[in-house]
């Protein structure tokens, strides 16, 4: 595998779940982007993917030379109906593939897909205010800071913040929505 291969961004399938689980398990065990403490198994990841798909939302993988090296999905921000035009993104990249533009390609694909669905806001809830890579990625793709929740998580022996960022999709909040995009 070369560092110059362009990623194939495509919809995730159940055959990708083992790779997705491996990527996420590393983030859970070694990082602070997720506030989970124990990595879920493949069956739980399959249930999560099914829930996203049932909501009509996108879940993508980044594949390079036949290997899944990252994934991203948009999930409902909150379950109450008034939030139905807002989604939260999740983006994870394998440790050996960071810094190669995969996160950017995945997030850009999510923005495009959710805009096409008629959604109006995308939120990022970034674990750890020291996660400058994720904060920078989101800022580069048009997200702005929306808030900081200090010391809301305890992991790896320290308090962690959540950085809130937002990005309008399509006309954002400039006009009322004309469709109901989420079931």
Q: What is the C-alpha to C-alpha distance for residues 133 and 131, in angstroms, rounded to an integer?
A: 6
Q: Is the pLDDT of residue 183 over 60?
A: no
The rounded distance, in Å, linking the Cα atoms of 46 and 41 is 9
Domain span including residue 143? 8-168
pTM of the entire predicted model = 0.94
pLDDT the model gives residue 178: 77
Please indicate, yes or no, if residue 23 is contained in any of the structural domains: yes
With respect to residue 177, please indicate whether it lies within any of the assigned structural domains: no
Would you say residue 178 lies in a domain? no
Tokens 């962690």 found at = 160
- Compute the residue count for the chain: 183
Question: In CATH, what number is assigned to the domain containing residue 25?
Answer: 3.40.630.30
Within-domain flag for 181? no
Give the number of domains in the chain: 1
* Mean pLDDT of the residues in the chain: 94
Return the percentage of the chain with pLDDT > 70, whole number: 96
pLDDT at 4 over 50: yes
pLDDT at 179 over 80: no
**36 lies in a domain?**
yes
DSSP 54-116: HTT--EEEEEETTEEEEEEEEEES-SSGGGTTEEEEEEEE-GGGTTSSHHHHHHHHHHHHHHH
- Tell whether the model's pLDDT for residue 3 goes beyond 70: no
The answer to whether residue 125 scores a pLDDT higher than 70 is yes
Indicate whether 108 belongs to any domain.
Answer: yes
The answer as to whether 15 is a domain residue is yes
Residue 174 counted as domain residue: no
On the question of pLDDT at 139 being above 60, the answer is yes
């Amino acid at each position: 595998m070369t560092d110059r291969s362009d990623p194939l961004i495509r919809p995730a399938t159940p055959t990708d779940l083992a790779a997705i689980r491996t990527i996420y398990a590393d983030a859970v065990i070694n990082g602070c982007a997720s506030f989970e403490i124990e990595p879920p198994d493949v069956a739980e990841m399959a249930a999560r993917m099914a829930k996203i798909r049932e909501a009509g939302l996108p879940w993508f993988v980044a594949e390079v030379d036949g290997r899944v090296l990252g994934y991203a999905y948009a999930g409902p921000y909150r379950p109450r109906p008034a939030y139905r035009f807002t989604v939260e993104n999740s983006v994870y990249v394998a440790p050996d593939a960071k810094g190669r533009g995969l996160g950017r390609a995945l997030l850009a694909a999510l923005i495009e897909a959710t805009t096409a669905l008629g959604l109006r806001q995308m939120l990022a809830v970034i674990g750890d205010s020291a996660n400058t890579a994720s904060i920078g990625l989101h800022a580069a793709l048009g997200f702005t800071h929306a808030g900081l929740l200090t010391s809301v998580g305890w992991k790896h022996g320290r308090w962690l913040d959540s950085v809130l960022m937002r990005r309008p999709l399509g006309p954002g909040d400039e006009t009322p929505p004309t469709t109901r995009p989420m079931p």
